[in-house]
Amino acid sequence: MSKDGIINRNVINWFPGHMAKARRELEAKLKLVDLIIELRDSRVPLSSANPLFSSLIKNKARLIILVKSLMADPKITKEFIEHFNAEGLLALDCDMINSKNISLIKNYIAKASKSILDKREKQGIINKEIKICVIGVPNVGKSTFINRLAGKSSLNVGNKPGITKNTNTWLRIDKNYIILDTPGILYPKLKDEKTGYNLAICGMIKDEILPHEELCYYAIDYIKANYPDLLKKRYLLNELNDTKDIIEEIGQKRGCLKSLGEIDLNKTYRLILQDVKNARLGAISYERPED
């Protein structure tokens, strides 16, 4: 274990069988669609971008949407949007709570579709229907996004990573657009330890994949360094000392105790990670464009 309490790992490796199958099916489906909407978590726009998608998307029209933006630092989210735009990628953020975002998203879809329709017009093709595919890592919110966009709840929406396993779910969102929901596909292997931590603390991989202790140390270390006031306010801390001491103080204050008054660290880890995952400390971004 490192000095800050985090276990070092050279490789984080997982690739459930249904994800390998989903990747093959997604590759076949992408040949049928015109526009790709890639959802990323606003808190971790880099970690929630699967590098496999780039090879699958190729030169398809693409729109990046940073979801759950109310959970992220708005200043950092704005920097990410500017970063993507500077790279020639169309991008926007949305929280999916405010219904006004739906109109904005549809405007961006129209903007992203313009080059497709212009090309068809030059070829003398009258068809204005755009086939859209929504992609993203597990539990980033694809099904919820589509349901809100369509104004109905006809897709299977859940709170567990990997709930969508069927790539054949199409939904018409209006006369010109039909949309395809896809299973979330994770990396087959992560060589970057930080990416695995970011996906875990934001709820995009299952809790048991990485030990709660190291996730908790990682989260507290980051928040202490970047958002100390939020940490103090949430847990009524006067000072921020060693991470181990902070975690124990939180356990003490929140009543995470065993029968003899000893701090129940496992219970404390779970409490902190639930707070982090649900943004109870406030709007926090765990990455920056320069990362």
Tell me the range of 3-12, 68-77, 141-150 where mean pLDDT is highest.
68-77
pLDDT greater at residue 19 or residue 267: 267
Asked if pLDDT for residue 158 goes beyond 50, the answer is no
| 202 found inside a domain | yes
Domain membership flag for residue 3 = no
Instruction: Tell which of 123, 156, 181 closes a domain.
Output: 181
Domain that holds residue 240: 193-277
Higher pLDDT, 225 or 56: 225
Q: What is the pLDDT of residue 4?
A: 44
Asked whether the beta carbons of 155 and 108 are under 8 A apart, the reply is no
**Chain-centre distance of CA 77, in angstroms?**
13
Q: Which of 124, 155, 181 is at the close of a domain?
A: 181
pLDDT digits (tens, 9 = 90+) for 167-191: 456 788 888 898 876 666 666 566 6
pLDDT at 272: 98
Are 210 and 88 within one domain?
no
Q: Do 229 and 207 lie in a common domain?
A: yes
- The tokens describing 150, both together, are 């369509």
Kindly tell me if the per-residue pLDDT of 128 is higher than 60. Answer: yes
Domain count, the chain: 2
Torsion of CA 151, 157, 163, 164, to 10 degrees: -20
CB-facing half-sphere around the CA of 49: CA atoms within 13 A? 18
Boundary-marking domain end, from 181, 213, 233: 181
Supply 10's token pair.
């050279």
